[in-house]
Amino acid sequence: MKGVFPDVKKTTIGVAATVLALFLAGCGSGGENAETTSATAVSGRIDRGLRVLTFDPAAKGQEFRIYRGDYVRPEVAGGLPFRLQVPDLGVDMNFPVAEGAKTYFKVPNAGSFPFSLGEATGTIEAVEFLSAGFKDVTTAEGAAFITDHDPLVLDVRTAREFAGGHLEGAVLLPVQELQKRLGELAGDMDRPVLIYCRTGNRSTVASKLLVDAGHKQVANLRRGIVGWQQAGLPVVK
């Protein structure tokens, strides 16, 4: 039968190549498969544990995507003074801020939050951090994770908070310092890690930094040390 269907082989190869190209293109774009960890899907940059968002003071309909638990530090292109209001988050901030005042706000829940900045408007969307090798754990699951996996327990709060009580065996590494000190954890890439803070927000930021650095198994204590103590579990000083 040779020569009866002379273009079948070429056609099959062409179709296969097209399918492969479409597949690779879908992978490159991140698709809609809940891979919210894609660098292109999330706005801003991380600086000392804060997500920095740069607003355009003249644009309407701006859209930002961040992770639930992020601490956001707003800035404006050009460095002009501005007032940011995010009513659903209770945010009403004037920049530059007074000396000693906070320059950031936290976003503890997932959702869509409209904002205004003078004449500028838009939305900040907070999504859950999803990634292979990462999971949120309840207090009970966190306790079991410690028993079953002997993880590196990482406290990413401040030194003062740590001194007031921490999980037994925890290592203090404040989220503000984590980026520049990731090398200290290079020897623990394959060791499970349990990360916690006060209520599970800073630890979400820290978890992403570790996952991006190549750590294979990272668990975030969703309700932090507050939930741990409310469950009657022990802390040490």
pLDDT at position 21, please? Answer: 39
The DSSP line for 161-194 is HHHT-B-TT-EE--HHHHHHHGGGGGGGTTS-EE
* Per-residue DSSP letter, 236: B
Given the residues 197, 206, 209, 221, the one annotated as active site? 197
For residue 52, name the pLDDT band (cuts at 50, 70, 90). Answer: very high
For residue 75, name the pLDDT band (cuts at 50, 70, 90). Answer: very high
- The string of pLDDT tens digits covering residues 81-103 is 999 999 999 999 999 998 889 99
Mean pLDDT of all residues belonging to the chain: 86
* Spatial separation of the C-alpha atoms in residues 123 and 176, rounded to whole Å: 26
Question: Has residue 22 got a pLDDT over 70?
Answer: no
For residue 41, name the pLDDT band (cuts at 50, 70, 90). Answer: confident
- The fourth-level CATH superfamily of domain 134-230 is Rhodanese-like domain (3.40.250.10)
End-to-end CA, the chain: 83
- The string of pLDDT tens digits covering residues 166-222 is 999 999 999 999 999 999 999 999 999 999 999 999 999 999 999 999 999 999 999
- The string of pLDDT tens digits covering residues 140-163 is 999 999 999 999 999 999 999 999
Structure tokens at 169: 């065996």
The answer to whether 197 is a known catalytic residue is yes
* Maximum C-alpha span of the chain: 86
| Alpha carbon distances (Å) from 141 to 15, 50, 133 | 48, 27, 16
Q: Which fold has domain 39-127?
A: Immunoglobulin-like (2.60.40)
Nearest Cα to Cα of residue 218 among 184, 195, 188: 195
For residue 30, name the pLDDT band (cuts at 50, 70, 90). Answer: very low
The pLDDT > 90 percentage for the chain reads 81
- The string of pLDDT tens digits covering residues 102-117 is 999 999 999 999 999 9
Question: Has residue 5 got a pLDDT over 50?
Answer: no
Domain with CATH 3.40.250.10 in the chain: 134-230
Domain with CATH 2.60.40.420 in the chain: 39-127
Q: Which of 39-48, 88-97, 140-149, 225-234 has the lowest mean pLDDT?
A: 39-48
Question: Has residue 1 got a pLDDT over 90?
Answer: no
* Number of Cβ within a 10 Å radius of residue 229: 14
